[in-house]
Amino acid sequence: MSIRCAPSARRDGLLSVAFGSILLGFSAIFVKWGLSGGASPLVIGLYRMLFALPGSVLLVWCEGGGLGDSKGVIWALFAGVAFAGDLQFWHESMRYTSAANATFIVCGLSPVWVATFSSLFRCVRYRWLGRFGQLLGISGALVLAGARGARVGNGRGEVIAAVASFCYAAFTLALAQSRKSNSARQSLLWMSIGSLLTFISIEGWQNQPLLAFDTLAWAGLIGLGVVVQLLAWLMINSGFAGIFSEVVDAK
Q: Using one digit for the tens of pLDDT, what is the confidence trace for 84-125?
A: 999 889 888 888 887 777 877 777 777 776 776 665 555 555
The rounded distance, in Å, linking the Cα atoms of 8 and 243 is 9
Contact yes or no for 137/108 (Cβ under 8 A): yes
pTM of the model: 0.75
Residue 146 lies in a domain: yes
Verify that 86 and 201 share a domain, yes or no: yes
CA-based nearest residue to 228, from 32, 51, 62: 51
Verify that 236 and 208 share a domain, yes or no: no
Residue 56 lies in a domain: no
Residues with Cβ within 8 Å of residue 47, at least 6 apart in sequence = 34, 39, 221, 222, 224, 225
Count up the domains in the chain and report the number: 2
Q: Is the pLDDT of residue 162 over 70?
A: yes
The rounded distance, in Å, linking the Cα atoms of 129 and 126 is 8
Q: Using one digit for the tens of pLDDT, what is the confidence trace for 22-38?
A: 887 788 889 889 988 88
What range does the domain containing 161 cover?
66-212
